[in-house]
Structure 1
Amino acid sequence: MKLNHLGVVVTDVLATRTFLETSFGLTGIGRAGRRMTHLHDEDGFALSLFAGEQASEVHIGFIQVSEGAVNAIYDRLRADGFEMEPPRRSHGWTFSVTAPGGLIVEVVC
């Protein structure tokens, strides 16, 4: 069975949706509201964002094909003003960024 939907709580639904659309290419499904919104990727995975006072203690991840791809995303996010630790060797070549709204996003290969 394929996992194809996840719902998480964030502190700012609209800012998190915009970040995921512009930085990672997710596509919004329907109208974005302040309390709830939905996005999907090109494989049909659906991510639901729900408003709350504290972000969920989970993270989402974008697996890349190479260290160069991880580095390119890191460089782009830094240029966009996001603060994060540089990529490092862990369970792969990886870094994490906290999106607006408190959602933690990992990029790894």
Structure 2
Amino acid sequence: MILNHVNLTVTDVPTAAAFLEKYFDMRQHEGGNKGFTVLFDDRGLVLTLMKAREVSYPKTFHIGFGQESEERVNEIYQRLIADGYQADPPQRSHAWTFYIQAPGGFTIEVLA
């Protein structure tokens, strides 16, 4: 059995989709709109974003983007910080990792 897709409820579909495209190499399926869109990655992940007025995920809820190296984690972190996003620097935990609040109201972990 294969997990087919994950749906996230977000406050701003276009902004969240653009963020995922720019920093995490997701590709948006044609036909998305302000209320719903579908994103894909090169490994078959299907991530859908659905509009809501409010988003309230549990404190520990997040999605993760594993990277091939610690250097790649650092590169993504530096790009985000240079573009004005705020996140604590990567640190050694269960992996070399950092978390960032994504536009739309959900948390992303970047790790290697």
> TM-score interval w.r.t. the shorter chain?
over 0.9
RMSD: 1.2
Aligned to 2:65: 62
Amino acid at match of 2:54: Q
Percent identity between matched residues is 45
SS in 2 for 1:37: strand
Q: Figure out how many residues of one structure are paired with residues of the other and give that number.
A: 109
- Per-residue CA shift, 1:31-90, capped at 9, x if unaligned? 221111110001111000001122352321110122111111101111111111111111
Match of 2:48 in 1: 48
Structure 1's consecutive aligned runs of 4 or more residues displaced over 2 angstroms after TM superposition are 53-56
CA gap 1:56/1:5 in 2 versus in 1, 3 angstroms? farther
Residues 8 and 56 of structure 1 are in contact (CA less than 8 Å); yes or no, is this contact kept in structure 2? no
Structure 2 segments unaligned to the other structure (5+ residues): none
The question of 1:16 aligning with 2:16 is answered yes
Cα distance in 2 for partners of 1:21, 1:86 equals: 22
Paired with 1:26 and 1:63, the residues of 2 have a C-alpha distance of: 13
- What is the TM-score normalised by the length of structure 2? 0.90
Match of 2:4 in 1: 4
**Matched AA of 1:101:** G
Structure 1 position 86 matched with structure 2 position 92: no
- Distance in structure 2 (CA, Å) of the matches to 1:3 and 1:56: 23
Other-structure match for 1:74: 77
Secondary structure of 1:76 counterpart: helix
Q: Secondary structure at the match of 1:68?
A: helix
